[in-house]
């Protein structure tokens, strides 16, 4: 009788959950910094395990965009304040 072994389950992506949570938090402007950090951590964990994590990458991109827009808005407000009075 042959000794058959079950095929192993494919390994799960360790950074998938962090990438998804990071993406959701990065979409919300007031939590974009937290989402950016979580997305970076999830992306690094996925890369170390050999997976591509597009959710984490999208969270990184969206988080950077929101932070850049916030900085632009702050600078614009400061410059407009100098010319007001």
Per-residue pLDDT of 20-66, as tens digits, reads 999 999 999 999 999 999 999 999 999 999 999 999 999 999 999 99
Q: Are 18 and 45 in contact (CB under 8 A)?
A: yes
**Does pTM surpass 0.75?**
yes
Distance from C-alpha of 82 to C-alpha of 3, rounded to nearest angstrom: 81
pLDDT of residue 6: 76
pLDDT of residue 4: 79
Domain boundary assignment for the chain = 16-84
pLDDT of residue 10: 65
Q: Are 43 and 52 in contact (CB under 8 A)?
A: no
Three-state SS sequence of the chain: CCCCCCCCCCCCCCCHHHHHHHHHHHHCHHHHHHHHHHHHHHHHHHHHHCCCCHHHHHHHHHHHHHHHHHHHHHHHHHHHHHHHC
């Amino acid at each position: 009788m042959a000794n058959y072994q079950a095929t192993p389950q494919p390994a799960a992506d360790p950074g998938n959950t962090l990438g998804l949570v990071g993406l959701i938090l990065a979409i919300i402007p007031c939590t974009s910094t937290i989402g950016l950090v979580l997305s970076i951590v999830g992306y690094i964990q996925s890369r170390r395990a050999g997976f591509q994590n597009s959710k984490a990458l999208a969270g990184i991109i969206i988080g950077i965009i929101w932070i850049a827009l916030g900085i632009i808005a702050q600078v614009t407000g400061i410059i407009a304040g100098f010319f007001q009075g």
